[in-house]
Structure 1
Amino acid sequence: MPKSTRRTFVTGGLIVAATGAGLMSMLRSPASAKALTVEDVLFDPVNPVLGNPEGDVTIVEFFDYQCPYCKTNHPPLTEVVKADGNIRLVMKDWPIFGAPSVRASQLVLGAASLGRYEDANTALMETEGRLDNRSIDRALGRAGFDVAALDKAYRGDREKWDALLSRNSEQASLIGLRGTPAFIVGEALYAGAMGASELRDAVATARG
C-alpha cells in the first residue's frame, strides 16, 4: 500500500469515517454489522504489546509479514517508539498474503508464548520479498529460534492465538481496511505507510 493519504477518526468510542458516515455504512451487509469500540482495537488483552506497555499513546499496526511496505516501514516505526519512550505499540497480525503469511504469524505468536515475541517479530520484519516456509524457518533460525519449538508453543496455545487472528481480521473488515499497512495512532486511523516524521506528528496530534 502506498504512502498514507486517507485518514479517518475514532469518536465517541466507536470508529467512524472522517466524512461523518458511521462505520456500519461501510459494511457490505447490514446483517454483519457489529459495534467496534476503541477498547476492542487498542487494548485486546491477548495481543502482544511492544514499546512501553503503560504508554500514554497507543500505535496499532495491521500488518502482514510478506507486505513490503510493512517491512520498509518497520525500522522508522520502532525507532520512533524507542526514542519517544511513552508509546504502546500493538502489532496486529493480519495475514492476507496467503499460507506463508499465516505460518509466519503462527510461529511468531508461538514465540510470544515463550516470551520472545519481539525477537521473532523483528527477525521476520527484517526479511526481504515474499516468503515461503523455508525462508521463514531460515530467518527464525538465524535469530536463534528452534522452529519446531515455536510450532509446538503455538499449537499449545492455538485456541487463544487463532481467536486473536480471527478478531484482527474481523476488525480490519469492520474498519474497512483494504490492505496493509494501516495504523491507528491514538484515535486516528491512517491507511498506508508512514515515515518517522508522519508518525511523530500523529503521536503529537494524539497527545494534543
Structure 2
Amino acid sequence: MKRRTILAGASLAAAATWLPGLRPGHAATAAVAPQALFFDADAPVLGNPQGDVQIAEFFDYQCSWCKRTHAETMQVVEQDGGVRLVKKDWPVFGPASVFAAQAVLGSARLGHYRRAMDTLMAQSGALTSESILSSLATAGLDIEALRGVVNAESDRIGNLLTRNWHQAEAFAFIGTPSFVIGRTAYPGVLDREALKRAIDRARG
C-alpha cells in the first residue's frame, strides 16, 4: 500500500515483517515483535523512556477522537510516571494527515516534537498544508528549518510511516485511535479510566 507524501515526496511502500510475540487482544491475531513496535529508533518517545509499561498509540492528526483524548492520555502518562509512550503516526485520513505526520516528525529533529504535536492536536477542523504550517509557525517553529529537515530525511520519515502502517495492519486495526499496551491490543478509544486499567493490567 502506498500513500503519497506532501512535504518530502517519499512514498510509503515496504514489505511488512510479521512476527509472533504479543498476546492477541480483540481483533489482533498477529503482531510485529515488541522490539520493533515499541523501540523503533526513528520514533520519538514520550513519557518515561525507562518506563516499565510500554504503550504504542496509533493515531491521525485529523482523527477527532485522537484530538479529544490527547490531553487526557498525556495526563495519565505523566501522572503515572512509569509509562513509555510511542505515538505511531498512522495517517489514514489522506494527504493532509501525511503532511502533518511528516511535519511533526521533522520537528522532533529540531527538538520540538511535543510542542508541534500538541499544536496540531489542538487545531480544530480539517487540516491543510497551509493551516499546518501556519499553526506551527505561530507555535514558534522555524518553518524553513523544518522544510530542510523533512526533505533531508524524507526516506527515514517515509520508512517510519510505512512500518507504522504495516504494524497497524498486522493488528487488524480498523481506525484511530488504537493502542497496544504491554502485550495486549486495544482497537478504539480508551478514556482516562480505561487507559489506567489497561496500564495496571500490563504492569500486573
CA distance in 1, matches of 2:28, 2:58: 22
Using structure 1 for the length normalisation, give the TM-score: 0.84
Pick from 3, 13, 21 the counterpart of residue 14 of structure 1.
Answer: 21
Mapping 1:59-208, distance limit 5 Å: 59-208=55-204
Q: Which amino acid aligns with 1:123?
A: T
Gaps of 5+ in 2: 1-18
- Is the partner of 2:185 in helix, strand or coil? strand
Distance 1:206 1:19, change over 3 A: closer
CA distance in 1, matches of 2:49, 2:75: 16
Does structure 2 retain, via aligned residues, the 8 Å contact 1:49–1:89?
yes
Distance 1:87 1:133, change over 3 A: same
Task: Tell me the CA shift for residue 117 of structure 1.
Answer: 0.9
Q: Which amino acid aligns with 2:142?
A: D
Show the counterpart of 2:5: none
The count of aligned residue pairs is 186
CA distance in 2, matches of 1:65, 1:151: 19
Pick from 40, 47, 50 the counterpart of residue 51 of structure 1.
Answer: 47
Q: Which amino acid aligns with 2:126?
A: R
Deviations 1:108-161 (A, max 9, x none): 111111121111111111111211112111211121112222121111222211
The two structures, once aligned, show a CA RMSD in angstroms of 1.9
Q: Which amino acid aligns with 1:14?
A: G
Residue identity (%) = 42
- Is the partner of 1:178 in helix, strand or coil? coil
Q: Which amino acid aligns with 2:114?
A: E
Distance 1:97 1:141, change over 3 A: same
